[in-house]
C-alpha cells in the first residue's frame, strides 16, 4: 500500500509540473504573439511614413519637371501690369497739369473781361476830367453820377453785391461795428442805425464788411426797486 501511495504522489507531482510547464509555455507564446504584433504595427507605420515621403519626393520631382513656359508667362504678365500702372500714372499727371492750366486760363479770361468792362468806365472818367473850364458844377456832378452808375452796373453784372446793413440786425459775418449807440427801447437793440462804409460780397466771398453803428439797449433800474433808494446806499 505504501508503494502504491508513493506512486500516486509521484504521478500527481508530475502532472502538476506538466501543467505549470504548459502554462509557462502558453504565457511565452502570448508574449511572443504580442511582440510580433507590435513589430508588425511598427513595420506598417514605417511603411506608411516611407510612402508619404516618397509621395512628397514625387510631387517635388513633378514640380521641378514643370516646363519653364509657365514661369515666363507669369513674369510677362507682371511686366505688363507694371507698364500699365506707369502709363496710368503718367496720364493722371498730364490730366492734373491740363486741369490746372485750363483753370488758370479761365481765371485770366474772367479777369480780362471785367477789366474790359471797367475800361469803358475809365474812359468816361477821363472825359469828365477833360471837361472845359467853363463847365458848370451841376454838369460835372451829373457826369460823375453817370460814371458811378455805370461802374456799379458793370460790377453788379460781374457778381459784386452790396451788403444791406441800415436797419438790419447786426451780423458779425457781414458787419463791422465801429461805434455803438445807446437806445431806450429793447426792440431796437442790436440794430444797425448808421452805415459809415458800404460792404460788398462777390459771390460767396466777403470782399469787405460794412462798417456800421449799432444800437445797444441799456436798461435802467426802476424807482422803488430794492437797492435803489438813497437810504439803502452804503
pLDDT per position as a tens digit, 57-86: 555 554 555 556 777 778 888 888 999 999
Query: What is the structure's pLDDT at 39?
Result: 64
Q: Which residue has the cell 461802374?
A: 151
**Partners of 213 in the beta sheet?**
179, 194
Residue 205 backbone zone (phi > 0: left; psi -120 to 50: alpha; other: beta):
beta
8 Å CB contact between 209 and 172: no
If pLDDT is split at 50, 70 and 90, which confidence band does 232 have? very low
**Partners of 169 in the beta sheet?**
191
Query: What is the structure's pLDDT at 45?
Result: 66
The neighbour count for residue 139, using CB atoms within 10 Å, is 13
CATH superfamily of 161-221: Head domain of nucleotide exchange factor GrpE (2.30.22.10)
Q: Is 170 exposed, middle or buried (0-12, 13-18, 19+ CB in 10 A)?
A: buried
The neighbour count for residue 192, using CB atoms within 10 Å, is 20
- Which of 9-18, 76-85, 92-101, 105-114 comes out lowest in average pLDDT? 9-18
If pLDDT is split at 50, 70 and 90, which confidence band does 48 have? low
As a whole-number percent, the residues of the chain with pLDDT over 70 amount to: 64
Residue 224 backbone zone (phi > 0: left; psi -120 to 50: alpha; other: beta):
left
- The beta-strand segments (E) located in the chain are 160-162, 175-183, 192-197, 200-202, 205-208, 210-217
Mean of the pLDDT values across residues 52-58? Answer: 54
Q: Which residue has the cell 509540473?
A: 17
For the question of whether the overall pTM of this predicted structure is more than 0.85, the answer is no
What distances in angstroms separate CA 178 from CA 56, 86, 144, one per listed residue?
91, 60, 29
Q: Which residue has the cell 446806499?
A: 233
pLDDT per position as a tens digit, 128-140: 878 777 778 888 8
Residues in the chain: 234
Kindly report the backbone phi and psi dihedral angles of residue 53, in degrees, each rounded to the nearest multiple of 5, phi listed first. -60, -40
8 Å CB contact between 111 and 85: no
Q: Which residue has the cell 451841376?
A: 138
Q: What is the largest CA-CA distance in the chain?
A: 190
Q: Which three cell numbers stand for residue 97?
A: 497739369
Amino acid at each position: 500500500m505504501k508503494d502504491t501511495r508513493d506512486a500516486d504522489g509521484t504521478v500527481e507531482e508530475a502532472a502538476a509540473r506538466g501543467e505549470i510547464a504548459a502554462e509557462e509555455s502558453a504565457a511565452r507564446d502570448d508574449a511572443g504573439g504580442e511582440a510580433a504584433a507590435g513589430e508588425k504595427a511598427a513595420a506598417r507605420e514605417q511603411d506608411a511614413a516611407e510612402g508619404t515621403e516618397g509621395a512628397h519626393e514625387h510631387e517635388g520631382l513633378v514640380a521641378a519637371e514643370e516646363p519653364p513656359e509657365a514661369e515666363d508667362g507669369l513674369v510677362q504678365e507682371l511686366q505688363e501690369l507694371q507698364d500699365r500702372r506707369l502709363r496710368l500714372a503718367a496720364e493722371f499727371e498730364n490730366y492734373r497739369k491740363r486741369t490746372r492750366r485750363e483753370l488758370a486760363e479761365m481765371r485770366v479770361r474772367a479777369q480780362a473781361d471785367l477789366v474790359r468792362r471797367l475800361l469803358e468806365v475809365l474812359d468816361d472818367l477821363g472825359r469828365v476830367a477833360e471837361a472845359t473850364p467853363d463847365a458848370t458844377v451841376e454838369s460835372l456832378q451829373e457826369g460823375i453820377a453817370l460814371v458811378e452808375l455805370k461802374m456799379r452796373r458793370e460790377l453788379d453784372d460781374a457778381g459784386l453785391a452790396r451788403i444791406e446793413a441800415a436797419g438790419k440786425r447786426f451780423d458779425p459775418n457781414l458787419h463791422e461795428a465801429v461805434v455803438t449807440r445807446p437806445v431806450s427801447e429793447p426792440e431796437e437793440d442790436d440794430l444797425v442805425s448808421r452805415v459809415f462804409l458800404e460792404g460788398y460780397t462777390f459771390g460767396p466771398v466777403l470782399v469787405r464788411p460794412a462798417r456800421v453803428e449799432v444800437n445797444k439797449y441799456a436798461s435802467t433800474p426802476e424807482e422803488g426797486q430794492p437797492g435803489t433808494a438813497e437810504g439803502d446806499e452804503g
